[in-house]
Amino acid sequence: MGWVRNLQRELFTKGGVHPPSNKIAATVKIFPGPYPETVIIPLSQHIGAPCEPLVEIHDRVLIGQKIGDSEAYVSAPVHSSVSGEVTGIIGYHHPTGTEVRSVQILSDGMNEVHPSVEPPGDPMEMTPQQIRKHIREGGIVGLGGATFPTHVKLAPPEGKQIELVIINGAECEPYLTGDHRMMVERGEDIIVGARVIERAVGAERIVVAIERNKPDAITLMRELGAEHGFEVAVLPARYPMGSEKTLIKGITGKEVPSGGLPMDVGVVVDNVGTAAAIYDLFYEGMPLVDRVLTVAGDGVAGHANLRIKVGTLVRDVIDFCGGLVGEPGKAILGGPMMGLAQYTTSVPVIKGTSGIVVLRGETVWHREPAHFVCIRCGRCVRHCPMNLMPYLMGSYSDAGMWEELGPLNIDDCVECGCCAYTCPTKNPLVQLIKVGKEGLARQQRKMEELAEEWEEA
Amino acid sequence: MAGKKPGREVESVEPGEEPRLFHIGVSPHIRGKHTTTSIMRWVIAALLPLTAYGVYIGGTDALVVVLMSVVGAVATEAVIQKLRHLPVSIGDLSAVVTGLLLALTLPPGLPFWMPLLGGVVAIALGKQVFGGLGHNIFNPALVGRAVLFISWSEYMTTSWLVNPQAAAVQTSAIKSINAVTSATPLATMGNVRDGELALEASRYCGSLLFGNPWGCIGEVSALLILAGLVVLLIKGLVYWGIPVGYVGTVVALSWVLGMDPLFAALSGGLLLGACFMATDYVTNPMTARGKLVFAVGCGIITVVLRFYSNLPEGVMFAILVMNGFTPLIDRYITPRPYGHKGLVKKV
Ligand code: SF4
Ligand code: SF4
């Protein structure tokens, strides 16, 4: 395939910023997280339809037992991460800021594993359909944070040929080191998982993408690559290098068409964590019940990479790491560039939680202008990896001029935050863009309704 | 819960009961360290060696011009914002930069009210009329200068001659070139259009580079202008394409038209204009390609004005004209968004 760029050369993409990486936990081994007394497992941890509970209050559940599922195609079941008693099916805080139906389980500390947890047989003997079915049953979603159900991602529609699997170990968000540690500690498992992905989509080539600032992971993966026949792409250490579209452009030189998917250019991108979860599913039989995440930031006493059971409350994890220090500012699930700030730490860790970053007040408080103020410095335009015009989107959104936002391709914005990061007047550009996207969608709906009425009349 | 911090009520497992412990807000949660003020501070830092040297050459006369211009600009900004009941934003230092830039384009030895008036005009007409920082179309410092230039042009071009201190430094250069009658080497070029004379003048490019006694406070040393530019480039605060494109165009066109390119590059406030005026954030285009178009446009207009008009220099008017084209450039030269084919021009 000639269309992958020469991976020995420096890969180039436009835009991006260099926030201080603060990857303090990069040398800390992955450690099992706290053993929670109670877990709260949301029935919606993915993009797509929420699950219906399969258990009732006072039921006894075991590790790996399916406790929620949905009929919908774009959805993924959830499994219990502990053994114990279901004490409630309640609405509970969810990292996205909404209240979501969740299964509350009081652990009995016995760690009993459900009999269904058994390797389903050699995936290399299975058909792609069978692999996808098992991946769906295992509740696997994209662990980089997007939480798109993996079985959907691995199902290219008729006539779309997938040639390349990119295993994303870029981990460009500051503070986060979980993927880095995974590659160092579980390199072989990741590759085995990647082979399963390769088989499921019928690709012929695997490239593991790693940012330059992880030399130990690069060396290790290169050695493994020589052995197992895959390649390593070394990326510049620049945020948002690990963003799917930027990554694809960097490695293949191709751009995912606006509104399209990586499949449209023959690529599938999966996070290293997802590949490892696929390994666990096929070779240990364990569905997705825990994940590796990084605890970091100047607002928490200890930095660590922990293997956390899904449903563990964030505050238990923080306490496990020595508790909070300093004046609390923000508790962020994910990284500081794209993560979600929580107003309480009583939220559960879900499948997509790649990190818990607690930052002190002085680190996260910025003097944002009350109204959009632009000195036309052009920094947002220069740093936008999607080549958009953030200053215009910001000012039109601030003025409520939604109809101007469509021609600016606001829907192509990946909300990476480079523009807001670099803006000297501290305009909350991502916030304005989010508001603008909603405003534009609302207006388009209204126009369609009007058009319908017009036709009817 | 183990390790619970005293004084923090985070014990409840039930939703909706807890105190709001953390702040929320949309990502990104960390921000870059540059602010408007920090950028302006760097611009001032980049201009400071040049200003200091200009004052050293020009003496107290130059100092008065610099101070009056800055005071005029800053005071006007504050007064207008007070009158309009807006928060006074002189702390962002942008008015200081405007005042300083204006002063650098003025000759020393002006009566004190003139730079003061220039500063007032620069901010009032050049900036606040449009709605303040970020909204003006024309470079405020150049607006101030243009008004002074048009109203009192004899002062603007000859006043340095009355400064004995500056004159003493200039003596050697003046002796070697028989162009004392005209104000700046460029005036010679424009009026006499004598290739030979211009070529002779080029021999003094050395003095232009290392300490040019001719003309304005900010034109005393090309080397210090370039040093300031390097500071801004290293800090990533200006786009290299503007000074390079502008000076490059002037040099190339001058060469084609048979003038000495080095002389063309080093005289007439071109460097100061290309490095510090054309790069003004507010008044040049937003995209790299737009900035290049802007720079080349400035270069062409400058050469045209220099060679075919009676204006002794074209830099000021060239930049002002291109400032006027900036909205148009921004409208038609937009980046091609990721994942789109071809240019998307609708804005
Ligand atoms: S406009 Fe969107 S894609 Fe561009 S820098 Fe801003 S957040 Fe990122
Ligand atoms: S970075 Fe901020 S100030 Fe600069 S152009 Fe963009 S919105 Fe305007």
- Write out pLDDT tens, residues B9-53: 333 344 444 555 788 888 899 999 899 999 999 999 999 999 998
In a domain, B3, yes or no: no
Ligand 1 atom 5, closest CA? A384
**Closest Cα in chain A to B27:** A338
**Cβ(A388) to ligand 2 under 6 A?**
no
Q: What angle do CA A17, A18, A23 make, to 5 degrees?
A: 135
CB contact under 8 A, A375 and B134: yes
- pLDDT at B196 > cutoff 80: no
The predicted pLDDT at position B265 comes to 83
Closest ligand (CA of A374): 2
**Residue A87, CA atoms < 13 Å, CB-side half-sphere:** 14
- Local structure of residue A327 (DSSP, 8 states): S
Q: Quick one: B191 and B298 in the same domain?
A: yes
Q: What's the rounded mean pLDDT across residues A372-380?
A: 92
Q: Are A102 and A348 in contact (CB under 8 A)?
A: yes
Q: How far is CA B114 from CA A394, B151, B157, in A?
A: 40, 10, 14
In a domain, B266, yes or no: yes
The predicted pLDDT at position A376 comes to 93
Q: How many CB atoms lie within 10 A of CB B112?
A: 12
pTM of the model: 0.86
Residue A265 CA to residue A208 CA, distance in Å, equals: 18
Q: What angle do CA B50, B53, B59 make, to 5 degrees?
A: 135
Q: Quick one: B255 and B311 in the same domain?
A: yes
CB contact under 8 A, B13 and A376: no
Of A307, A287, A285, A303, the closest CA to residue A295 belongs to A303
Q: Quick one: B186 and B254 in the same domain?
A: yes
Q: Which of B122, B156, B190 finishes a domain?
A: B156
Q: Quick one: B176 and B89 in the same domain?
A: no
Strands A66-69 and A78-79: antiparallel
Q: What tokens appear for A202 in the block?
A: 């019928």
Q: Quick one: B316 and B273 in the same domain?
A: yes
Q: Quick one: B86 and B123 in the same domain?
A: yes
- pLDDT at A291 > cutoff 60: yes
Q: How long is chain A?
A: 457
Residue A213 CA to residue A234 CA, distance in Å, equals: 9
Count of CB pairs separated by less than 8 Å, A with B = 194
- Beta-carbon contacts of residue A204 (< 8 Å; ≥ 6 apart): A1, A163, A164, A198
Residue A405 CA to residue A376 CA, distance in Å, equals: 18
Indicate the residue type of A192: V
Interface list for B 18-57 with A (CB within 8 A): 18, 20-32, 34-36, 38-39
Helix axes B140-151, B94-104, angle to 10 degrees: 40
Q: Are B284 and B242 in contact (CB under 8 A)?
A: yes
Q: Is the peptide bond before A240 cis (omega within 30 degrees of 0)?
A: yes
Q: Are B30 and A421 in contact (CB under 8 A)?
A: yes
* Phi, then psi, of A141 in degrees rounded to 5: -130, 170
CATH architecture of the region A121-284: 3-Layer(aba) Sandwich (3.40)
CB contact under 8 A, B287 and A381: yes
Q: Quick one: B147 and B197 in the same domain?
A: no
The SS3 call for residue A168 is: strand
B125 CA to chain A: closest CA distance, Å? 18
**Closest Cα in chain B to A34:** B2
B9 touches chain A (CB under 8 A): no
Chain B interface, best mutation among A316, A324, A377, A403, by max B CB count within 10 A = A377
- Beta-carbon contacts of residue B51 (< 8 Å; ≥ 6 apart): B66, B100, B103, B104, B217, B218
Which parts of A92-177 fold into alpha helices (H)? 128-137, 150-153
Q: What's the rounded mean pLDDT across residues B308-319?
A: 80
Q: What's the rounded mean pLDDT across residues B307-328?
A: 86
CB contact under 8 A, A387 and B337: yes
Task: Please give the number of the atom of ligand 1 that sits closest to the Cα of A386.
Answer: 3
Of A99, A204, A368, the closest CA to residue B35 belongs to A368
Q: Are A208 and A188 in contact (CB under 8 A)?
A: no
Binned at pLDDT 50, 70 and 90, residue B199 comes out as: very low
Q: Are B79 and B71 in contact (CB under 8 A)?
A: no
Residue A330 CA to residue B22 CA, distance in Å, equals: 5
Q: What's the rounded mean pLDDT across residues A311-337?
A: 91
CA B178 to chain centre: 32
So where are chain A's domains?
A: 121-284, 379-456
Q: Quick one: B175 and B323 in the same domain?
A: yes
For A338, counting Cβ atoms within 10 Å of its Cβ (0-12 exposed, 13-18 middle, 19+ buried), the class is buried
- pLDDT at B164 > cutoff 70: no
B150 touches chain A (CB under 8 A): no
Residue A176 alpha carbon to ligand 1 centre in Å: 21
Domain that holds residue B147: 36-156
Least confident of A37-51, A88-102, B166-180, B233-247: B166-180
B281 touches chain A (CB under 8 A): yes
**Cβ(A374) to ligand 2 under 6 A?**
yes
CB contact under 8 A, B337 and A97: no
- pLDDT at A329 > cutoff 70: yes
Chain B CB contacts of A258 below 8 Å: 337-340
Q: Are B216 and B57 in contact (CB under 8 A)?
A: no
The predicted pLDDT at position A431 comes to 93
Q: Are A110 and A123 in contact (CB under 8 A)?
A: no
Q: Quick one: B327 and B288 in the same domain?
A: yes
**Cβ(A430) to ligand 2 under 6 A?**
no
Mean confidence (pLDDT) of chain A = 91
For A261, counting Cβ atoms within 10 Å of its Cβ (0-12 exposed, 13-18 middle, 19+ buried), the class is middle
Q: Quick one: B115 and B188 in the same domain?
A: no
Ligand 1 atom 3, closest CA? A413
Q: Quick one: B249 and B185 in the same domain?
A: yes
The predicted pLDDT at position B312 comes to 62
CB contact under 8 A, A19 and B24: no
The predicted pLDDT at position B152 comes to 82
